[in-house]
Amino acid sequence: MAKSKVVVTRQLINEAQGLLDAKKNDLEIVQWQSEKGASGILVMLTDKVDEELLEAAGPQLKTIASFSVGTDHVDRDALKKRNIRLGYTPTCLTDAVADLTIMLILMAQRRGGESMAKVSKGEWPQMPWHPLLMTGPQIRGSTVGFLGFGRIAQASLQRLLPFGIKRVIYLTSKPGQPAKEDHYGLLKNAGIPIEPAASAEQLAQESDVVIVGCALTPSTKHLVSTDFFSKMKKLSVIVNIARGPIIDTNALVKALDEEQIFGAGLDVIENEPNITADHPILKQPRAVLVPHIGSATIETRVQMATESVRNLLAGLAGEAMINELEL
C-alpha cells in the first residue's frame, strides 16, 4: 500500500522533528512548500489555507494541523466541504500570552517604551527630576475590562488579582450573559466583583484597563474604533493580545494624539508584519508594540510544535487529535 504523504511548511523544533522523523518508514514526509498529492499538511499562522492550496493538494488531503491557536488564516468552510479535519493548539499558549498581557499593561501604564527610548537616545541627563517625571496610572484599584473572556483572558485575570484590582467586567459574544466557562474558579472565588458587560460602550466607559482578547470575526473587526475610544477614560490604557484588525489603528493613533486615552500595549496590529519605521504607531511615545510574540517562550513553542505533529499524525491515523476544531 502506498504511503500517506505529509507536507510540513517549515523546519521544526528538534523535539517535534523527532516525532515526525520516527514515522519516516510509514509516511512520505516532505518539508517546505510542496503540497501536491498530500494527505496531511502542517501549517503555521502565516500560511494561508484556502481554496488554492486545497485544490493544489488534491482530493486525498484529509488533515490540516495548524501551529497556532487562531484559525483565521484557514478557510474553514472549504475544509468542511471537503471533510478535512483541522487540528490546532489552543491550550498551549495560555500562560505565555497571559504573562505578556501583564507586561504590556505595565509598559503602557508606566511608560516603559517612552522611558527606554529616552535612555537609549542619551536624553536621561537632560531629564531633571520632578514629582511628575514619567508618571502614569497604577494597576491597584483599577477596573479591568476584557473584550473576550476565554482561557487566556481568565489566566490574565489570575495574574492581575495580586496587583489589587478592584473590579472586572467582560464582554462576550452574548452581552450581559455570564461566561460559560470558569477555567480557574475565579468567577466565584476571586474576591472582587466580576460582571458581564451589557455592551462595548459600557466596557469602554467603566474600564481603566481594556484587554482585547476576542477572536477576529466580521463582527469584531474594528470593534475598537473612534466611538469606543471616545468613551474611554483619559487615564485608561488598552492592550491587544488577540488579532490586529480588532483595533482600528488609525483611530488608535488619533486617540493617542488627542490624549483620549493614556497609552497602548500591542502584541498585534493591522497589516503585520509590514510595519516599517515610519509607521504612525511607532511615532506614539505611549504606544508599545512588540512583534506578535505572545507565544514566544521556549517551553510554549516546543509544546505547540509537538502538539501540531501529534494532531497531524492522529488525523492521518483516523484517531482523536489533542485539539481539533469542529467545523
Q: Which of 285, 255, 268, 253 is nearest to 136 (CA)?
A: 285
Q: Do 30 and 160 belong together in one domain?
A: no
What are the residues facing 284 on neighbouring strands? none
Q: Do 153 and 27 belong together in one domain?
A: no
Whether residue 33 is predicted with pLDDT greater than 60 in this model: the reply is no
89 within 8 A of 66, measured Cβ to Cβ = yes
Q: Do 177 and 313 belong together in one domain?
A: no
**pLDDT recorded at residue 60:** 94
In a domain, 162, yes or no: yes
In a domain, 88, yes or no: yes
Q: Which of 301, 295, 298 is nearest to 96 (CA)?
A: 295
Helices then strands, counting H and E runs in the chain, come out as 11, 12
Task: Give the cell for residue 180.
Answer: 460559560
> CA-to-CA distance for 279 and 295, rounded, in angstroms?
24
Q: Do 107 and 205 belong together in one domain?
A: yes
> CA-to-CA distance for 220 and 228, rounded, in angstroms?
12
What are the residues facing 266 on neighbouring strands? 240, 289
Ranking 22-26, 129-133, 140-144, 242-246 by mean pLDDT, the lowest is 22-26
Interval 254-259 mean pLDDT: 98
Task: Give the cell for residue 114.
Answer: 517612552
Q: Do 230 and 302 belong together in one domain?
A: no
Ranking 29-38, 50-59, 89-98, 201-210 by mean pLDDT, the lowest is 29-38
**pLDDT recorded at residue 117:** 96
Q: Do 88 and 103 belong together in one domain?
A: no
Q: Do 172 and 257 belong together in one domain?
A: yes
pTM, 2 dp: 0.86
Q: Do 121 and 175 belong together in one domain?
A: yes
Q: Do 66 and 106 belong together in one domain?
A: no
**pLDDT recorded at residue 61:** 95
With the C-alpha atoms ordered 291, 295, 299, 302, is the resulting torsion angle positive or negative? Answer: negative
More confident residue, 38 or 222: 222
Q: Is 183 considered catalytic here?
A: no
Q: Do 162 and 88 belong together in one domain?
A: no
270 within 8 A of 252, measured Cβ to Cβ = no
What are the residues facing 167 on neighbouring strands? 143
List the strands of the sheet with 237-240, edge to edge. 194-196, 167-171, 143-147, 209-212, 237-240, 263-266, 287-289
302 within 8 A of 275, measured Cβ to Cβ = no
> CA-to-CA distance for 99 and 152, rounded, in angstroms?
10
Q: Which of 119, 135, 139 is nearest to 127 (CA)?
A: 119
Report the DSSP pairing between strands 237-240 and 85-87: unpaired
When divided into structural domains, the chain yields a total of 2
In a domain, 305, yes or no: yes
Whether residue 34 is predicted with pLDDT greater than 70 in this model: the reply is no
CATH of the domain at 282: 3.40.50.720
Q: Do 138 and 213 belong together in one domain?
A: yes
Q: pLDDT tens digits for 51-64?
A: 988 988 899 999 99
Whether residue 16 is predicted with pLDDT greater than 80 in this model: the reply is yes
Whether residue 99 is predicted with pLDDT greater than 70 in this model: the reply is yes
Q: Do 185 and 267 belong together in one domain?
A: yes
Active-site residue (options: 183, 222, 279, 292): 292
In a domain, 322, yes or no: no
Give the per-residue SS3 of 82-109: CCCEEECCCCCCHHHHHHHHHHHHHHHH
Q: Which of 70, 8, 65 is nearest to 34 (CA)?
A: 8
Domain span including residue 42: 4-92+298-317
In a domain, 182, yes or no: yes
What are the residues facing 228 on neighbouring strands? none
